[in-house]
Structure 1
Amino acid sequence: MNSDVVQHYATDAEAVRLARSPHGRLEFLRTQELLRRFLPASTAVLDVGGGTGVHAEWLARDGHAVHLIDLVPEHVDAAAELPGVTAQVGDALDLPVPDAGYDAVLLLGPLYHLTDHADRARALAEARRVLRPGGVVAAAGISRYLSALETGADGTLDVNLLPSVEAVIATGRYDGHVGFTPTHWHTADELRGEVHSAGFGDVEVYGVEGPTWAALDVAGVEEFPARVHAALHCARLVERDPALVNASAHLLAIARA
């Protein structure tokens, strides 16, 4: 991963992103829900690209032994202070841990920052290498339709923005037109195929936020408590619906080694 990614997260930590917007809060709740559904109890978890430990913290509280790897040294230092969490600097493309040492590997950020298909395949292969037989991988992607739904809902989609939105839907190459760094955005089928090609079985892709996240953002943070329960029900209802899964802002592939 390049220095731009390190710089981005050094100044805009994942924990802040998940708290400041309604859809970020919904993403956190649903990611937590999905991981709790599929992770074995009291297991050894490798959190790759885990930042300051926004997920490692609650996973450790749930009884998991969590080891976090991140590119940003300051994030690693912060995560290492969390009870039940160990941490070290490292890269998803060359994990500094031995083979078959973990029951679960989380890739909740690395894949979309790896804009070359070969690098995503390598990161998934590394995840498979460090998993024990039957272990679980949870690999996140950003939906290609995120900016279309966001800008269509908030009123900013215009003729000037259309070419960039059309391009990311067609190719997955995101150019930064609604903020964030240039990344690769997936469809559910593409994410499923990449995980399967890395040698994982029983691959399922879930829509994380469901189709209501953009409406939550338009309503604003003050409306979140009143609307979140309906949004959660909706997300669960259509989480694997092939007609709506890509309407989530994020996708989560769950598979076994």
Structure 2
Amino acid sequence: MDEIAPYYAQDREHDRLTRGSNRLEFERTRELLARFLPPPPATVLDVGGGTGPYARPLLEEGYTVHLLDAMAGHIERARADPALAGLASATVGDARALPFPDGSADAVLLFGPLYHLTGEGDRRLALTEARRCLRPGGVVLAAAIARTASTVDGLLAGMDADERFRAMRDATLEGGVHQPPASAPGWFTTAYCHRPEELRREVEEAGFWNVDLYAVEGLGNVVPDFDARWVDPERRGRLLDVIRRTERDPALFGVSAHLLALGHSPLPNPA
């Protein structure tokens, strides 16, 4: 976690999902949560939940939410936010060692841990901890960055003209680890970028059943004039419709910046 702390200390994360195309990530993630979370007042562990962008609407809907994040600054901001006063807890912690009892939650959100834990063994720990905390039949929703995300972003933004970016991009494509150069402190921090089949395998090997993958931004990640589309209700609706229709198409997973894995905690064997 030490290598990602300077990036998050810039305090840009708390409003990231309200800006630019990040609004699509937020809208689609909220949509998938509404589809797959058990109904309120279910207990949700928001692990890697940052300053609470998803916890706020979940609280408004009547969920019991525990917020945990590795960055102390995120938790301090969450504790000071009146909109998060209803949190059951707000804790600085590690996804690999959750401070929650066995079988205490109906759902676990991992929106961050799977891409900031660059070692497969650490990601396995985070997933098995999530399963430990879930009641039988509970759900995990785990976000991952697609292996080609920085490649697509670089092409769209023209960053591939920078030799430093090309070196970073090529290393990510080859081995999955996104490691920005020290000379570019504003670039996104150290992360792991998944291939879809790898993400599915990791969730299944952690003991989850009926694992499915969904593209979060999907084709919306590469449309031109995003801001103009987003503020026009009709065009926005058409964009979201095509994303939904193609969200499970494996041929398009690499276009999406983020993937969301859905898994279910095993039910007990019948007597």
Give TM-score, length-normalised by structure 1.
0.92
Asked if the contact 1:153/1:215 (under 8 Å) is kept, the reply is no
Is residue 26–residue 209 contact of structure 1 (8 Å, CA) maintained in 2?
yes
- Partner amino acid, structure 1, of 2:34: R
| Aligned-pair CA distance for 1:139 | 0.4
1:128 shift after superposition: 0.6
Give the letter for the 2:139 counterpart: V
> How far apart, in 2, do the equivalents of 1:13 and 1:89 lie?
18
The answer for the alignment partner of 1:124 in structure 2 is 127
Is the aligned partner of 1:146 residue 2:144?
no
**Tell me, which stretches of 5 or more residues in structure 2 are unaligned?**
266-271
Whether contact under 8 Å (1:191, 1:253) holds in the other structure is yes
1:49 matched residue in structure 2:
48
Of 77, 95, 103, which aligns to 2:98? 95
> What's the secondary structure of 2:140's corresponding residue?
strand
Shift of the alpha carbon at 1:70? 1.1
Q: Find 1:212's aligned residue among 212, 220, 241.
A: 220
Task: Name the structure 1 match of 2:171.
Answer: 167
* Structure 1: stretches of 5+ with no match in the other structure: none
Q: 2:159 aligns with which of 113, 137, 156?
A: 156
RMSD of aligned C-alpha atoms?
A: 1.9
> Larger C-alpha radius of gyration, 1 or 2?
2
- CA deviation string 1:77-102 (max 9, x = no partner): 33234142131111101111111100
CA distance in 2, matches of 1:171, 1:41: 39
State the identity as a percent: 45
Partner of 1:38: 36
Match of residue 188, structure 1, among 189, 196, 200: 196
Indicate the residue corresponding to 1:74 in structure 2. 73
**Normalized against structure 2, the TM-score is what?**
0.87
- Determine if contact 1:202/1:255 at 8 Å carries over to the other structure: yes
Shift of residue 12, structure 1, vs aligned partner? 2.9
Distance, in Å, in 2 between the alignment partners of 1:118 and 1:204 is 21
Report the secondary structure of 2:77's partner residue.
Answer: helix
Provide the rounded CA distance (Å) in 1 between the counterparts of 2:9 and 2:167: 30
**Contact 2:217-2:257 within 8 A present in 1 as well:** yes
